[in-house]
Structure 1
Amino acid sequence: MNPLPPAVFPDMVDALLCAAFAGEAEAELVRALRADRDLATEIIYQEFGQLLGYAALSWMRAPDGWLCLAPVAVSPEHQKRGIGSKVLKLAVAWAKERDLTIVVLGDRDYYGKRGFSSERAANLTAPYPVEHLLLAGPGQNAPASRLIYPVAFEEA
Protein backbone atom coordinates (compact mmCIF):
# COMPACT_ATOMS: atom_id res chain seq x y z
CA MET A 1 0.00 0.00 0.00
CA ASN A 2 1.51 3.34 -1.04
CA PRO A 3 1.04 6.37 1.22
CA LEU A 4 -1.14 9.19 0.03
CA PRO A 5 0.73 12.17 -1.42
CA PRO A 6 0.79 14.86 1.32
CA ALA A 7 -0.47 17.60 -1.00
CA VAL A 8 -3.76 15.81 -1.75
CA PHE A 9 -4.37 14.38 1.69
CA PRO A 10 -6.46 17.30 3.11
CA ASP A 11 -8.59 17.41 -0.04
CA MET A 12 -9.22 13.67 0.11
CA VAL A 13 -10.16 13.89 3.80
CA ASP A 14 -12.55 16.77 3.05
CA ALA A 15 -14.19 14.77 0.24
CA LEU A 16 -14.54 11.66 2.41
CA LEU A 17 -16.03 13.60 5.34
CA CYS A 18 -18.48 15.46 3.10
CA ALA A 19 -19.63 12.20 1.51
CA ALA A 20 -19.86 10.27 4.77
CA PHE A 21 -21.79 13.00 6.61
CA ALA A 22 -23.66 14.52 3.63
CA GLY A 23 -22.40 18.00 4.44
CA GLU A 24 -19.44 20.24 5.21
CA ALA A 25 -19.59 20.41 9.04
CA GLU A 26 -17.12 17.62 9.83
CA ALA A 27 -14.68 18.75 7.12
CA GLU A 28 -14.83 22.26 8.56
CA LEU A 29 -14.23 20.84 12.05
CA VAL A 30 -11.09 18.99 10.91
CA ARG A 31 -9.79 22.05 9.06
CA ALA A 32 -10.27 24.11 12.24
CA LEU A 33 -8.55 21.45 14.40
CA ARG A 34 -5.60 21.49 11.99
CA ALA A 35 -5.45 25.29 11.96
CA ASP A 36 -5.54 25.41 15.78
CA ARG A 37 -2.86 22.67 15.94
CA ASP A 38 -5.15 20.61 18.16
CA LEU A 39 -4.89 17.39 16.15
CA ALA A 40 -2.73 14.75 17.80
CA THR A 41 -2.94 12.50 14.74
CA GLU A 42 -5.12 11.56 11.79
CA ILE A 43 -5.73 7.88 11.14
CA ILE A 44 -6.46 6.78 7.59
CA TYR A 45 -7.38 3.58 5.81
CA GLN A 46 -6.74 3.46 2.10
CA GLU A 47 -6.80 0.97 -0.72
CA PHE A 48 -5.09 1.61 -4.04
CA GLY A 49 -4.64 5.30 -3.30
CA GLN A 50 -8.31 5.80 -2.44
CA LEU A 51 -9.11 7.08 1.05
CA LEU A 52 -11.83 4.83 2.49
CA GLY A 53 -11.65 5.44 6.25
CA TYR A 54 -10.61 8.26 8.54
CA ALA A 55 -10.47 9.21 12.22
CA ALA A 56 -9.19 12.34 13.95
CA LEU A 57 -7.67 12.30 17.42
CA SER A 58 -7.42 15.77 18.91
CA TRP A 59 -6.11 17.02 22.25
CA MET A 60 -8.73 17.74 24.89
CA ARG A 61 -8.27 21.01 26.78
CA ALA A 62 -9.14 19.02 29.92
CA PRO A 63 -8.29 16.57 31.31
CA ASP A 64 -4.70 17.17 30.33
CA GLY A 65 -3.30 14.53 28.02
CA TRP A 66 -6.67 13.10 26.97
CA LEU A 67 -7.76 12.71 23.37
CA CYS A 68 -11.08 13.21 21.65
CA LEU A 69 -12.01 10.83 18.83
CA ALA A 70 -14.03 12.72 16.22
CA PRO A 71 -14.91 12.57 13.48
CA VAL A 72 -14.76 8.97 12.34
CA ALA A 73 -15.83 8.32 8.76
CA VAL A 74 -16.03 5.55 6.18
CA SER A 75 -16.74 6.12 2.51
CA PRO A 76 -20.48 5.42 2.03
CA GLU A 77 -19.91 2.97 -0.80
CA HIS A 78 -17.42 0.98 1.30
CA GLN A 79 -19.35 0.68 4.55
CA LYS A 80 -20.17 -2.68 6.13
CA ARG A 81 -16.70 -4.01 5.23
CA GLY A 82 -15.11 -3.55 8.66
CA ILE A 83 -13.16 -0.43 7.66
CA GLY A 84 -14.54 1.59 10.58
CA SER A 85 -13.42 -1.13 13.00
CA LYS A 86 -9.94 -1.15 11.44
CA VAL A 87 -9.66 2.64 11.76
CA LEU A 88 -10.78 2.50 15.40
CA LYS A 89 -8.31 -0.32 16.15
CA LEU A 90 -5.49 1.83 14.72
CA ALA A 91 -6.62 4.86 16.73
CA VAL A 92 -6.81 2.90 19.99
CA ALA A 93 -3.41 1.29 19.32
CA TRP A 94 -1.84 4.71 18.62
CA ALA A 95 -3.15 6.07 21.92
CA LYS A 96 -2.24 2.91 23.85
CA GLU A 97 1.38 3.12 22.67
CA ARG A 98 1.48 6.59 24.23
CA ASP A 99 -0.49 5.68 27.38
CA LEU A 100 -3.26 8.14 26.48
CA THR A 101 -6.99 8.06 27.19
CA ILE A 102 -9.51 8.56 24.39
CA VAL A 103 -13.02 9.88 24.88
CA VAL A 104 -15.67 9.42 22.20
CA LEU A 105 -19.27 10.52 21.91
CA GLY A 106 -21.18 7.83 20.07
CA ASP A 107 -23.22 4.68 19.95
CA ARG A 108 -22.51 2.60 23.07
CA ASP A 109 -23.04 -0.71 21.32
CA TYR A 110 -20.79 0.10 18.33
CA TYR A 111 -17.90 1.62 20.29
CA GLY A 112 -18.35 -0.77 23.21
CA LYS A 113 -17.55 -3.70 20.90
CA ARG A 114 -14.40 -1.90 19.78
CA GLY A 115 -12.59 -1.35 23.06
CA PHE A 116 -14.46 1.61 24.55
CA SER A 117 -16.29 1.56 27.89
CA SER A 118 -19.40 3.51 28.83
CA GLU A 119 -18.99 2.35 32.45
CA ARG A 120 -15.59 4.05 32.68
CA ALA A 121 -17.19 7.27 31.39
CA ALA A 122 -19.97 7.22 34.01
CA ASN A 123 -18.46 9.97 36.18
CA LEU A 124 -17.56 12.38 33.38
CA THR A 125 -19.29 15.70 32.79
CA ALA A 126 -19.38 17.19 29.31
CA PRO A 127 -21.17 19.75 27.16
CA TYR A 128 -22.64 16.82 25.21
CA PRO A 129 -25.04 14.04 26.26
CA VAL A 130 -23.06 12.02 28.79
CA GLU A 131 -25.13 8.90 28.15
CA HIS A 132 -23.24 8.61 24.84
CA LEU A 133 -19.70 9.07 26.25
CA LEU A 134 -17.22 6.21 26.22
CA LEU A 135 -13.55 5.86 27.20
CA ALA A 136 -10.64 3.78 25.99
CA GLY A 137 -7.21 3.83 27.51
CA PRO A 138 -5.12 2.96 30.52
CA GLY A 139 -6.66 1.87 33.80
CA GLN A 140 -9.97 0.37 34.81
CA ASN A 141 -11.27 3.23 36.92
CA ALA A 142 -14.15 5.59 36.18
CA PRO A 143 -12.49 8.99 36.54
CA ALA A 144 -14.55 11.94 37.71
CA SER A 145 -13.47 14.62 35.27
CA ARG A 146 -14.93 17.58 33.44
CA LEU A 147 -14.34 17.32 29.70
CA ILE A 148 -13.33 20.48 27.87
CA TYR A 149 -13.11 19.93 24.12
CA PRO A 150 -10.86 21.79 21.67
CA VAL A 151 -12.17 25.23 20.69
CA ALA A 152 -13.07 23.98 17.19
CA PHE A 153 -15.85 21.84 18.70
CA GLU A 154 -17.46 24.94 20.22
CA GLU A 155 -17.53 26.56 16.78
CA ALA A 156 -18.82 23.45 14.97
Structure 2
Amino acid sequence: MLLESRKPWDGKTGGYFALSRMYAPEGWACLAPMAVRPEWQGGRLAERNPNMAVGGPKDEMYRSPWRFGTRMLQELAAIYEIPLERLPASVPKTIVVLGKPSFYGRYGFSWQRAQKLKSPYPLESTLILRRGDDVPEAELVYPRAFSDL
Protein backbone atom coordinates (compact mmCIF):
# COMPACT_ATOMS: atom_id res chain seq x y z
CA MET A 1 0.00 0.00 0.00
CA LEU A 2 1.13 3.47 -0.83
CA LEU A 3 -1.62 5.28 1.09
CA GLU A 4 -4.75 4.44 3.03
CA SER A 5 -7.50 6.93 3.89
CA ARG A 6 -10.67 6.55 5.87
CA LYS A 7 -13.57 8.88 6.57
CA PRO A 8 -14.85 8.35 10.10
CA TRP A 9 -18.37 9.15 11.23
CA ASP A 10 -19.90 8.59 14.64
CA GLY A 11 -17.23 6.09 15.71
CA LYS A 12 -17.49 4.07 12.48
CA THR A 13 -15.66 4.09 9.20
CA GLY A 14 -17.98 5.66 6.63
CA GLY A 15 -15.61 5.39 3.68
CA TYR A 16 -12.19 3.94 2.90
CA PHE A 17 -9.78 3.89 0.00
CA ALA A 18 -6.27 2.70 -0.61
CA LEU A 19 -3.71 3.54 -3.24
CA SER A 20 -1.79 0.39 -4.12
CA ARG A 21 1.62 0.64 -5.80
CA MET A 22 1.65 -0.55 -9.39
CA TYR A 23 4.58 -2.75 -10.41
CA ALA A 24 4.65 -0.78 -13.65
CA PRO A 25 4.81 1.92 -14.74
CA GLU A 26 7.08 3.16 -12.00
CA GLY A 27 5.53 5.84 -9.84
CA TRP A 28 1.94 4.88 -10.69
CA ALA A 29 -0.72 3.65 -8.25
CA CYS A 30 -4.16 2.09 -8.52
CA LEU A 31 -7.17 3.18 -6.53
CA ALA A 32 -8.11 -0.10 -4.93
CA PRO A 33 -9.86 -0.94 -2.83
CA MET A 34 -12.46 1.77 -2.29
CA ALA A 35 -15.54 1.23 -0.16
CA VAL A 36 -18.40 3.08 1.49
CA ARG A 37 -20.43 1.56 4.33
CA PRO A 38 -23.40 0.02 2.44
CA GLU A 39 -26.08 1.61 4.56
CA TRP A 40 -24.53 5.04 3.90
CA GLN A 41 -24.01 4.75 0.14
CA GLY A 42 -25.66 7.28 -2.12
CA GLY A 43 -26.10 9.85 0.63
CA ARG A 44 -28.43 7.66 2.69
CA LEU A 45 -26.69 8.70 5.93
CA ALA A 46 -27.94 12.25 5.49
CA GLU A 47 -31.40 11.18 4.35
CA ARG A 48 -31.87 9.45 7.69
CA ASN A 49 -30.52 12.42 9.65
CA PRO A 50 -32.41 15.66 8.92
CA ASN A 51 -30.10 17.54 11.33
CA MET A 52 -27.42 17.33 8.63
CA ALA A 53 -28.98 20.08 6.51
CA VAL A 54 -26.23 22.28 5.14
CA GLY A 55 -28.12 24.48 2.69
CA GLY A 56 -27.89 24.59 -1.06
CA PRO A 57 -30.34 23.63 -3.80
CA LYS A 58 -33.36 21.73 -2.53
CA ASP A 59 -32.34 18.39 -4.10
CA GLU A 60 -28.89 18.57 -2.55
CA MET A 61 -29.80 20.13 0.80
CA TYR A 62 -28.89 17.08 2.84
CA ARG A 63 -26.92 14.89 0.51
CA SER A 64 -23.82 16.41 -1.08
CA PRO A 65 -21.43 16.83 1.86
CA TRP A 66 -22.37 13.42 3.25
CA ARG A 67 -21.55 11.30 0.24
CA PHE A 68 -18.42 9.59 1.51
CA GLY A 69 -17.26 8.32 -1.90
CA THR A 70 -17.71 11.75 -3.46
CA ARG A 71 -15.80 13.46 -0.67
CA MET A 72 -12.90 11.00 -0.87
CA LEU A 73 -12.59 11.32 -4.64
CA GLN A 74 -12.81 15.12 -4.52
CA GLU A 75 -9.97 15.21 -1.99
CA LEU A 76 -7.88 12.83 -4.08
CA ALA A 77 -8.42 14.88 -7.27
CA ALA A 78 -7.52 18.09 -5.40
CA ILE A 79 -4.01 16.75 -4.82
CA TYR A 80 -3.34 17.08 -8.56
CA GLU A 81 -4.25 20.77 -8.42
CA ILE A 82 -1.52 21.56 -5.86
CA PRO A 83 1.61 23.07 -7.43
CA LEU A 84 4.08 20.28 -8.21
CA GLU A 85 6.88 21.84 -6.17
CA ARG A 86 4.72 21.67 -3.01
CA LEU A 87 3.91 17.97 -3.32
CA PRO A 88 5.83 15.22 -1.55
CA ALA A 89 7.74 12.87 -3.83
CA SER A 90 5.51 10.00 -2.66
CA VAL A 91 2.49 11.33 -4.59
CA PRO A 92 1.99 8.98 -7.55
CA LYS A 93 2.47 10.37 -11.05
CA THR A 94 -0.75 8.69 -12.11
CA ILE A 95 -3.63 6.92 -10.39
CA VAL A 96 -5.46 4.19 -12.30
CA VAL A 97 -8.99 3.10 -11.42
CA LEU A 98 -11.27 0.41 -12.80
CA GLY A 99 -14.88 1.47 -12.69
CA LYS A 100 -17.68 3.38 -14.31
CA PRO A 101 -16.43 6.27 -16.43
CA SER A 102 -19.66 8.16 -15.71
CA PHE A 103 -18.87 8.10 -11.99
CA TYR A 104 -15.08 8.49 -11.79
CA GLY A 105 -15.04 10.98 -14.67
CA ARG A 106 -16.76 13.51 -12.41
CA TYR A 107 -13.63 13.60 -10.22
CA GLY A 108 -10.90 14.18 -12.77
CA PHE A 109 -10.33 10.59 -13.87
CA SER A 110 -10.16 10.30 -17.65
CA TRP A 111 -11.25 7.34 -19.72
CA GLN A 112 -9.99 8.98 -22.93
CA ARG A 113 -6.46 9.44 -21.57
CA ALA A 114 -6.27 5.73 -20.63
CA GLN A 115 -7.00 4.33 -24.08
CA LYS A 116 -3.38 3.80 -25.17
CA LEU A 117 -2.56 1.74 -22.10
CA LYS A 118 -2.06 -2.02 -22.20
CA SER A 119 -3.95 -3.65 -19.34
CA PRO A 120 -5.04 -7.10 -18.20
CA TYR A 121 -8.45 -5.49 -17.59
CA PRO A 122 -10.91 -3.94 -20.07
CA LEU A 123 -9.97 -0.43 -21.20
CA GLU A 124 -13.70 0.37 -21.30
CA SER A 125 -13.50 0.50 -17.48
CA THR A 126 -10.00 1.96 -17.10
CA LEU A 127 -9.51 5.60 -16.16
CA ILE A 128 -6.51 7.62 -15.04
CA LEU A 129 -5.94 10.71 -12.92
CA ARG A 130 -2.76 12.68 -13.58
CA ARG A 131 -1.49 16.14 -14.36
CA GLY A 132 -1.61 17.53 -17.88
CA ASP A 133 -3.59 16.31 -20.85
CA ASP A 134 -1.29 13.76 -22.47
CA VAL A 135 -2.39 10.24 -23.43
CA PRO A 136 0.31 7.96 -22.01
CA GLU A 137 1.38 4.71 -23.62
CA ALA A 138 2.40 2.13 -21.03
CA GLU A 139 1.75 -1.40 -19.87
CA LEU A 140 -0.09 -1.64 -16.56
CA VAL A 141 1.25 -4.26 -14.17
CA TYR A 142 -0.92 -4.48 -11.08
CA PRO A 143 0.15 -5.85 -7.70
CA ARG A 144 -0.03 -9.62 -7.46
CA ALA A 145 -3.11 -9.42 -5.20
CA PHE A 146 -5.13 -8.24 -8.21
CA SER A 147 -4.11 -11.07 -10.55
CA ASP A 148 -7.09 -13.29 -9.66
CA LEU A 149 -9.71 -10.62 -10.30
TM-score, normalised via structure 2 length? 0.73
Residues 2-151 of structure 1 correspond to what in structure 2 (within 5 A)? 39-81=1-43, 82-94=67-79, 97=87, 98=91, 100-151=93-144
Structure 1 runs not aligned, ≥5 long: 1-38
- Which string of whole-angstrom CA distances, capped at 9 and with x for unpartnered residues, describes residues 105-132 of structure 1? 1000000011100011010110011111
Q: CA deviation at 1:94?
A: 4.8
Structure 2 runs not aligned, ≥5 long: 44-66, 82-86
Aligned pairs, number? 118
Give 3-state SS (helix, strand or coil) of 1:80's partner. helix
Distance of aligned partners of 1:143 and 1:43 in 2 relative to their CA distance in 1, 3 Å threshold: same
Superposition RMSD in Å: 1.6
Question: Taking every aligned residue pair, what percent have the same amino acid on both sides?
Answer: 42
Structure possessing the higher radius of gyration over alpha carbons: 2
> Is the Cα contact below 8 Å between 1:104 and 1:133 reproduced in 2?
yes
> Is the Cα contact below 8 Å between 1:44 and 1:51 reproduced in 2?
yes
* CA distance, structure 1, for counterparts of residue 92 and residue 147 of structure 2: 27
